[in-house]
Amino acid sequence: MISRIGLVGYGKMGSSLLVGGIRSGVIKKDSVLVYDLDRERMASAEKYGLKAADSLSMLLDSDVLLLAVKPKDLPALLLEIRDLLVEKSPLLISIVAGIGVKRILSFLGNAPVKVVRVMPNIAAAVNEAMSAFYANEFVTNEDLEFVKSLLSGVGKSISVENEEDLDTITGISGSGPAYFALMIRILEKIAVEKGIKEDVARILAAQTCRGAATMILDGKYSPSELIKMVASPGGTTEEALRVMEVRGFSGIVSDAVSAAIEKSRAMNAS
């Protein structure tokens, strides 16, 4: 039974996933031990009521070790605790972008360590994440059930059989909240410029985004059907969409997301 969880890295993504799991009831706050080199982050974790570890080695008695550090910091971290980690053999859940399971195992001397690589997103903090995960052959069914319950507790999740798919998912849903936030910010700015109060403008833009997503997620409408429903012939929406296409909106989005996907692949290959 999984009862002890160690978190390495209490940054935005690590804390969002952990807090979301606690909020959903999948994780008990008193079962968590947190370690971060940044003292302010450690203070923030303690303020939230989490126990702070004085060293990395203290986390090695955990049933699950959640890795949420920057990609550049992961090799040194794993090499520092390699021997003890291999001996204790906790389930490793990595949300480190761009570093695949084979590279993680290479830092551990290619020992038969249980590793699940997860691509969540920041919305885990409000239990609305979209996550995807890949598990290696050493991961047990019990481990998978925990991962599924954790990720489902903070939003929606899918498993992938091909780890390379996570690079594409990184560019779509991992980075995706920023894309939609940019669109909301643009709509908000336009509304304010046209005389709408800022707080009202933000609600108008954000709720519109949520409403469109909900209609699609409910399964009643495809994106194309929703566009057709809103874009009446000769109307305001049709005119707006016409300008977007003339200005190359679809191409810009496609190029931008493709760049994010290629960046993820390059990070994993480096």
Domain 176-269, CATH 1.10.3730.10 — does that match? yes
Spell out the domain ranges in the chain: 5-170, 176-269
What's 5-170's CATH class? alpha beta
Q: What local confidence, expressed as pLDDT, does residue 12 receive?
A: 87
Single pTM value for the model: 0.88
pLDDT tens column, 68-98: 999 889 999 999 999 999 999 999 999 998 8
Q: What local confidence, expressed as pLDDT, does residue 190 receive?
A: 98
Q: What local confidence, expressed as pLDDT, does residue 1 receive?
A: 59
Q: Please provide residue 115's backbone torsions phi and psi, each rounded to the nearest 5 degrees.
A: -130, 130
Paired tokens of 104: 């993680």
Q: What local confidence, expressed as pLDDT, does residue 136 receive?
A: 96
Q: What local confidence, expressed as pLDDT, does residue 20 receive?
A: 84
124 closest CA partner among 30, 17, 5: 17
DSSP the chain: ----EEEE--SHHHHHHHHHHHHHTSS-GGGEEEE-S-HHHHHHHHHTTPEEPSSGGGGGG-SEEEE-S-GGGHHHHHHHHHHHHHHH-PEEEE--TT--HHHHHHTTTT----EEEEE--GGGGGT-EEEEEEE-TT--HHHHHHHHHHHHHTEEEEE-SSTTHHHHHIIIIISHHHHHHHHHHHHHHHHHHTT--HHHHHHHHHHHHHHHHHHHHTTS--HHHHHHHH--TTSHHHHHHHHHHHTTHHHHHHHHHHHHHHHHHHHHH-
Sort 241 into a burial class: Cβ within 10 Å, 0-12 / 13-18 / 19+: middle
Q: What local confidence, expressed as pLDDT, does residue 265 receive?
A: 86
Q: What local confidence, expressed as pLDDT, does residue 270 receive?
A: 66
What secondary structure, in 3-state letters, does 7-27 show?
EECCCHHHHHHHHHHHHHCCC
The list of the chain residues with pLDDT below 50 reads none
